[in-house]
Structure 1
Amino acid sequence: MNTIHSIDQNKGMSSQASLVLSTNKMIRNTYMLLSMTLLFSALTAAAAVAMKLPHPGIIITLIGYFGLLFLTSKFRDSALGLAFVFGLTGFMGYTLGPIVSHYLGLPNGGQIVMTAMGLTGAIFLGLSGYALTSRKDFSFMGGFLMVGMVVGFLAGLGAMFFEIPALSLTVSAVFVLLMSGLILYETSNIIHGGETNYIMATVTLFVSIFNLFTSLLHLLGFMNSDD
């Protein structure tokens, strides 16, 4: 009986060690790919700013984003998925370029952009670091975040089409909170095995960082204009 118990205990320890190694590999691959896509996106945004490219417009942006997101998801288990994730993040970088150009043209524009970038980095590192070290399970936030993002997206479209500045600012403030929650949620998902594909984990974290940055830009630009 003791021998059987010892065998079962060894199997349990081996299984746990394997799970830890798998999780660590998932974290390493996700953050490595995230770093690469952020750099690639920053380069495409910088190129768009340097060449003074116009914004493609809401229709092309939505088609490009959801089309590339669909392809990334469809091929997430193959090498082609890597090509599409760079296509998606590069396209998002291109759409970001004209937005950054707009804010750079404001009084203290450079300071606004750098402050938004610094806050984005601090929020992401702080929240992901907390989730990684505390290892708390934030999966309970999934439903709330999904509903919040759908409502926020629709409200953002409404604010854009009907030109309602107050609603647009409210949406930006709400998105700062939602994207912060999404960072906690997705990092927790990676740790606890809720997400096992590093390409899709990268996309989720990238989108949260992108939306966090643009929302902070909007809020900081508004406060600057008030000054």
Structure 2
Amino acid sequence: MLIFQRILKLSLTLAFVVGVVMFALAKREQAPIKAEYDRLRAKFGELPNVSPDRFQILSFQSEEPGHLVWRFRPPDNVPIKFNSEISFGGGSCRGGTTSYGAKRTEGLIRFRIDFDNPRMVCFLKYPHGHMTCGSSDAEAAEAYRQHWDELTIETVSSTTPESYSQDEIIDLVRITAPEKFADGTSVRSGENGLCLLVRIGTPTAFDAEKAKAQEQQ
């Protein structure tokens, strides 16, 4: 019995240490993007105030491949759900989180690819959460960097702030790739060429979409 207790204690201690190490590594990976996130927030200033019961989003153009930024303000007094899928290079990372809070604060949503990382690490940062995905390898990273302008990038308007009701699910960005790049290089991506999809809405809107899809089956 004593031996069993010692083994159990050792196992719990080891699990705790591993958890702390993994947390520290994840935090270290996020540190550069967090610093840039704060800098961009200071640079772009505040969105003009609109109705407190609507979403407001403004996209910013970036000349840097693999770098996308949006200004975001949610409605008051409603939970907000973020769903995302990253499939650059054939890897697949999916995430979903719901944030709660009565105060209507604005912030930045930012996506960036570290093409120089051997794992082609993708960072997604949004208010109250983030996602990190090592989605591929150096070869795929270089192919995407060289052929970034051949991807189809669908996002919200970048000229004026867009306003959305709480009944809508916002496809913030959808990036798809062709089967091959112009030079004949094969492209590794997700299903139907999907590379990135970020969707935002209230849990009620997502539930309604799910119920409608089930009715149509």
User: Normalized per residue, which structure has more strand?
Assistant: 2
* Higher percent of residues as helix: 1
TM-score between the two structures when normalised by the length of structure 1: 0.28
Greater relative contact order, per chain length (Cα 8 Å cut-off, separation 6+): 1
